[in-house]
Amino acid sequence: MFDYFGGSLGLLPFTKHRKSRAINAENPTGEKGKGGMASSPLGPSRKGSPCLRDIPAGATVTLGEIEGSGAINHIWITVTDKTTEADCFVLRDLVIRMYWDDEEEPSVESPLGDFFCCGFGRECIVNSIPVVAVPSRGLNCYFQMPFKKRARITLENQHANPIPAFFYQIDYCLYEEMLPDDVAYFHAQWKREKITQLQKDYVILDGVKGKGHYVGTYMALTTLERYWWGEGEIKFYIDGDEEYPTICGTGTEDYFGGSWSFAKQVDGKTVEQNYCTPYMGYPYYSSHDEAIHNLYHNDDCMPMRGFYRWHIQDPICFDEDLKVTIQQIGVGYRGLFERQDDVASVAYWYQSEPHNSFSPLLKKEDRWPR
C-alpha cells in the first residue's frame, strides 16, 4: 500500500515513501540540515530569526517555494491583529495566495483570517479536523495540498503599516516518485457581498470547470435586518444544472449542523450558543467591537456570526462544473421574508488543473467588517 498523504490513524503503521521538510523564517528553502542556523545574542542556533520582521505596506513576500513532487501537510501562522487603534483589521488586510506547478494565477486567494475561519478581522477559537485556531491567533491548516512540479505560497501586506512580526511554518513532504495522474489540486476562494440582492441567492462559488470535489465552506455573516436570519437554503448546481440544483438543503443553520437557531433561554432572554466539532461549527458571535475603546462612542456593531462546514466525509463530487449558492431568507411574526444581509465566504475544493481565473479580490476597504 502506497501512502501518499498523512493524517489518518489507520495509515500510521504503513511505511512512508517520502521525505519530511519544513519551511520557516530560519530555513526559508526547507533545505535538509539547514534549520535553526541563525544566531541571536544567545549564540548560534538560538532563535536568531524566528519570524519575518517589518513586512512593508504594499509588499508581497514569498513564504515558501518548493521544487519537486510533494504535498503540503500543515501550515501554522501567527501575527498581530492590529498595528494601531485605527488599523485593527490586519487579518482582513493580509492576503494569502497559493500556486501549484506552473500556474501564474493562484489556486488559493483569501484574506488570511477568513482562510483560517476567523472572519471580520477577528480571532476566535476553532477546533475542527482541517482548520484549527487557538489563542492567540495560532492559525493552523491541515488540508492536504499536493503538487507535481512545484508549490509557491505568498503573503501580500495590504495593511496601512508594516507588519512587525510574522511567524509561520510550512510542513511538507517530497515524494520519491511522481504523484498519480488523478490527484486533484487544492483551491480556496474568498467572496463578499456587502448587501445581498433581494430574491437573488448569494454565490459562494461559481465558474468552476473540470473534475473535482467540494470540501468546505466558511461563512462570515453580518445580519442587517431584524428577526431570524437562517432560513436560506444552500444549493449545489452540479454538471450542467441550470434552473434547479441537484442538492438543496433545508436552511442555513441546518447546513452548519445546527437546529432551532442554536439558542437557549437564560432568564427570559434568547442566548446563542457557539460550538466547534470536527466537521461543522459556529465558532464566533459578537455584536460588539472588542478591539478598541473610545471615549466618544460605545462598542455596539451589527451582529457578526462565523460558521464552517467541512465536506470531508461527504464531498460534493462533480465531473464538469460546479456552482454553490445560499439564499437570504428570514422568518418573523408575519412568516418568511426575503432579506438583505452582508455575507462573506471562503469556498474550499479540489479539482483538476487548469482552473478558471478568479474574479478580482475586493480592495481592502471593501473587505473591512462593518
The candidate with the shortest Cα–Cα distance to 338, out of 213, 212, 201, is 201
**Cβ neighbour number for residue 49 with a 10 Å cutoff:** 16
Letter for the amino acid at 167?
A: F
pTM: predicted TM-score of the whole model, two decimal places: 0.96
Residue 7 has pLDDT above 90, yes or no: no
Proportion of the chain above pLDDT 90, given as a percent: 88
Note whether 321 and 209 are within 8 A (CB). yes
pLDDT band at 176 (very low <50, low <70, confident <90, very high): confident
Residue 2 has pLDDT above 80, yes or no: no
pLDDT on residue 14: 84
Tell me what the mean pLDDT of segment 13-25 comes to.
92
pLDDT, tens digit, for every residue of 77-87? 999 999 999 99
Residue 291 has pLDDT above 90, yes or no: no
Proportion of the chain above pLDDT 70, given as a percent: 98
pLDDT on residue 1: 38
Residue 366 has pLDDT above 70, yes or no: yes
**Cβ neighbour number for residue 101 with a 10 Å cutoff:** 15
pLDDT band at 11 (very low <50, low <70, confident <90, very high): confident
Tell me what the mean pLDDT of segment 232-255 comes to.
97
